[in-house]
Chain A
Amino acid sequence: MNASPSLRNRINTVVRDIPRSGIRDFFDIVTTMKDVISLGIGEPDFDTPWHVREATVFALERGATHYSSNLGYIELRRALSKYVAKHFGAEYNPDNEVLVTVGVSEALDLALRALINPGDEVLYHEPCYVSYRATILFAGGKPLAVETKAENGFRLTRAMLEAKCTPKTKVLMLNFPNNPTGAIMSREDLEDIAKFAIEKDLIVITDEIYAELTYDTPHTSIVSIPGLRDRTIFLHGFSKAWAMTGYRLGYACGPAELIDAMMKIHQYTMLCASSLAQKAAIEALTRPEIDVGEMVDEYRRRRNFLASSFKEMGLECHRPLGAFYAFPSVAKFKIPAKEFALKFLHEEKVAIVPGTAFGDCGEGFVRCAYATNLDNIKEAMVRLKRFMATL
């Protein structure tokens, strides 16, 4: 950027001081290169299910091109409420406890802005999705990162939270299945966290965007644990499980007071989520088990393939249990993760993302997304093995 210094000084200091996403840096390098195999993509390679796309076209023909209600079409909110009750174990009133948003991204922003007063602390776990820290800062909060560890399967424990929590801590953010580690939490794991949240009177924001994508055990949501529904904002969306990233559609469920507060911001800043995308989502919810099931089966096979390949070449990796990411350790090569990723990119033309893009404690790890077809994954593993032999 070559903005003049005087303009730079006009920029809000919080915004100015937040560094660019580490992923962005990497992306800029990759785009200058040709024929790169990318394991760097955090979005599904599958096409959006055809019946959903077909329904979108139909909705367009039928003229669903106007504003919807601020909360979203009631038909969609009813379908969401049913879906969440069935798969996540909490009931939400579609009239005032469900808000349709522009992706989970917007929902995260709304939730934080609706809750945070200047200086309120927000606990979240790293390595984590690239936007968490920035979104907390934009909302005027103080981010408190808790480090999860490979030896724990990157799960969050009560002790980790206790070490960081202060009387000023107001919110706890969770994301399981996790981007970038592929970690999930069992019911017992979550019960400990739930107890802690109740004791410390925290509001929980849970980003469960990868909930459908677990490969060995079903997902458990923290909202299904007694006492948590009424202090939790549950976030989910269609980007990952339905391969609908470009539709930009997500939603938040929570107690009416909290949803109402988020809705206030949403109505003035966004008005409503895309009507067409909402119509598509209504269709997507008609047969989720089948659409998503096909993809889950394929992701599982790829996960299996990656895990066996890593093992075969002696690359240490905790077993990824959800989302579509593996997070192997490259610490034994004694070079920073970023250097590893850059070297691998230049020498073998495979893009992976250094763990440091997801928080400082991601040092020593790289994220390999298996949201790409098996041929690419196979070739990438051949190249990785060859590359490792040179280190």
Chain B
Amino acid sequence: MRWKRLPFACLNEVFMDELLKLLQGNALESHANLGKLLNKPAADVSKEIAAYEKTGVIRGYQAVLDEDKLDLDRVTAVIEVKVTPQREGGFNNIATRISKFPEVKSAYLMSGGYDLLLFVEGRNLREVATFVSEHLSPLEGVLSTSTHFMLKTYKRLGVLMQQDSKNERLSVAP
């Protein structure tokens, strides 16, 4: 597309389809509106989205919640895990095994002082502790864990949980 060569265009979009970026912002946007925004027919948008779903680029659509507002009986722990990579499969086998526990909401392979970073949810501290001591630590290949509890969410998935009061713009300006 021509505008990609404009001096002022966001660098992200050189790497990511603008359609995906829009869906990340609001997955509920109608295909007709997406078409209008991207200057293409709605039918093309539907086709592209279907293709992304089919190839698994789009894995699902979720609401971004401010869970602190829900007063949930729930804690989230961030767990750093050191593991020994296996001869075949490296980190993948052990990481996949760990990821399959429903308590594990997210899992990432990391560089640096530890190998895996897990986001684990439980109803309370004890539940998470039990998960760590009874399920995670005993796994073959897990060398050590370090558990931190999350206290408050300020920003999630690019969304600020505390909105600044809206700036006061004049309603008509030159």
Contact = CB atoms under 8 A, between A and B. Distances in A.
Interface string A66-94: 00000000000000000000010000000
A31 B39 CA distance: 35
Contacts of B5: 218
Interface stretch (A36-44, A161-169, A247-255): A36-44
B63 interface: no
A213 B6 CA distance: 10
Interface string A19-43: 0010100110011000010101111
A301 B37 contact: yes
A293 interface: yes
B37 A305 contact: yes
Contacts of A308: 35-36, 39
A174 to B, nearest CB: 18
A303 to B, nearest CB: 9
Interface stretch (B54-62, B71-79, B164-172): B164-172
Interface stretch (A3-11, A145-153, A199-207, A284-292): A284-292
B3 A129 contact: no
Interface string A291-309: 0111011001110110111
Contact of B174 (A45, A130, A300, A378): A130
A97 interface: no
Interface residues of B, number: 26
Contact of B172 (A30, A292, A304): A30
Given A215-B3, A297-B10, A27 B172 contact: yes
A131 interface: yes
Interface string B1-27: 011011111110100001000100000
B6 A214 contact: yes
A302 B13 CA distance: 16
Contact of A45 (B13, B33, B164, B169): B169
B174 to A, nearest CB: 5
Given A215-B3, A289-B8, A304 B171 contact: no
Given A217-B2, A300-B3, A304-B37, A293 B172 contact: no
Interface in B32-57: 33, 35-39
A47 interface: yes
B173 interface: yes
Most chain B CB within a 10 A radius of its CB, from A26, A218, A288: A218
B172 A353 contact: yes
B170 A27 contact: yes
Contact of A296 (B6, B33, B173): B6
The 9 closest A-B pairs by CB, nearest first: A40-B172, A293-B10, A27-B172, A308-B36, A301-B37, A304-B39, A38-B171, A292-B8, A305-B36
Interface of A: 21, 23, 26-27, 30-31, 36, 38, 40-43, 45, 47, 87, 129-131, 179, 212-218, 241, 288-290, 292-294, 296-297, 300-302, 304-305, 307-309, 351, 353, 374, 378
25 contacts: A30-B172, A40-B173, A41-B169, A41-B170, A41-B172, A47-B167, A129-B174, A130-B174, A212-B7, A212-B8, A214-B6, A215-B6, A218-B5, A218-B7, A241-B8, A290-B10, A290-B11, A293-B11, A301-B18, A304-B36, A305-B37, A308-B36, A351-B171, A374-B37, A378-B33
Interface of B: 2-3, 5-11, 13, 18, 22, 33, 35-39, 164, 167, 169-174
Given A129-B174, A304-B39, 17 more contacts: A23-B173, A23-B174, A27-B170, A27-B172, A36-B171, A38-B171, A41-B172, A43-B169, A47-B164, A289-B8, A290-B11, A292-B8, A296-B6, A300-B3, A305-B36, A307-B39, A351-B172
